[in-house]
Structure 1
Amino acid sequence: MFAVLKTGGKQYKVQAGDVLRVEKLAANAGDTVQFNDILMVGSTLGSPFVSGAAVQAEVLDQIKADKVITYVKRRRKHSSQRTRGHRQQMTLLRVTEVLGEGGDKTGVKAAIGARTGGAAYAAEQTDAAPKKAAPKKAAKAEAAPAEGDAKPVGTRPGNLLDAPREGGADDLKLISGVGPKLEELLHQNGVYHFDQIAAWKKKEIEYMDDQLSFSGRIDREDWIKQAKELAKGKKD
Structure 2
Amino acid sequence: MFAVLKTGGKQYKVQSGDVLRVEKLAVAAGEKIQFNEILMVGSTVGAPLVEGAAVQAEVIDQIKGEKLINFVKRRRKHSSKRTKGHRQQLTLLRITDILEKGADASGVKAAVGASLARKEAHGAGSTAAPKAAAAKKAAPAAAAGADDLTAINGVGPAAAKKLVEAGITSFAALAAVDVDTFDAVKVKADWVDQAKALAK
TM-score range, shorter chain: 0.5 to 0.7
In structure 2, the partner of 1:26 is: 26
In structure 2, the partner of 1:106 is: 106
Residue 179 (structure 2) pairs with residue 150 (structure 1): yes
Residues 128 and 65 from structure 1, CA distance in 2 versus in 1: closer, same or farther, beyond 3 angstroms?
Answer: farther
SS in 2 for 1:103: coil
Structure 2, unmatched stretches of 5+, are 147-168, 182-187, 190-200
The residue identity in structure 1 corresponding to 2:26 is: A
The residue identity in structure 2 corresponding to 1:134 is: K
CA distance in 2, matches of 1:140, 1:128: 26
Residue 65 of structure 1, CA deviation: 2.6
The residue identity in structure 1 corresponding to 2:63 is: I
SS in 1 for 2:126: helix
Q: Moved runs in structure 1, 4+ residues, more than 6 A?
A: none
CA distance in 2, matches of 1:49, 1:81: 43
SS in 2 for 1:115: helix
Residues 76 and 90 from structure 1, CA distance in 2 versus in 1: closer, same or farther, beyond 3 angstroms?
Answer: same
In structure 2, the partner of 1:134 is: 136
Residue 10 of structure 1, CA deviation: 0.4
CA distance in 1, matches of 2:59, 2:109: 12
Residue 11 of structure 1, CA deviation: 0.3
Q: Which has the higher contact order (CA 8 A, sep 6+)?
A: 2
Structure 1, unmatched stretches of 5+, are 153-209, 212-236
SS in 2 for 1:149: coil
In structure 1, the partner of 2:41 is: 41
TM-score (ref. length: structure 1): 0.53
SS in 2 for 1:93: strand
Which stretch has the larger CA shift, 57-66 or 26-35?
Answer: 57-66
Size of the aligned set, in residue pairs, is 154
CA distance in 1, matches of 2:23, 2:126: 24
- Aligned sequence identity (%): 59
Which stretch has the larger CA shift, 86-95 or 128-137?
Answer: 128-137
Residues 145 and 76 from structure 1, CA distance in 2 versus in 1: closer, same or farther, beyond 3 angstroms?
Answer: closer
TM-score (ref. length: structure 2): 0.62
The residue identity in structure 1 corresponding to 2:136 is: A
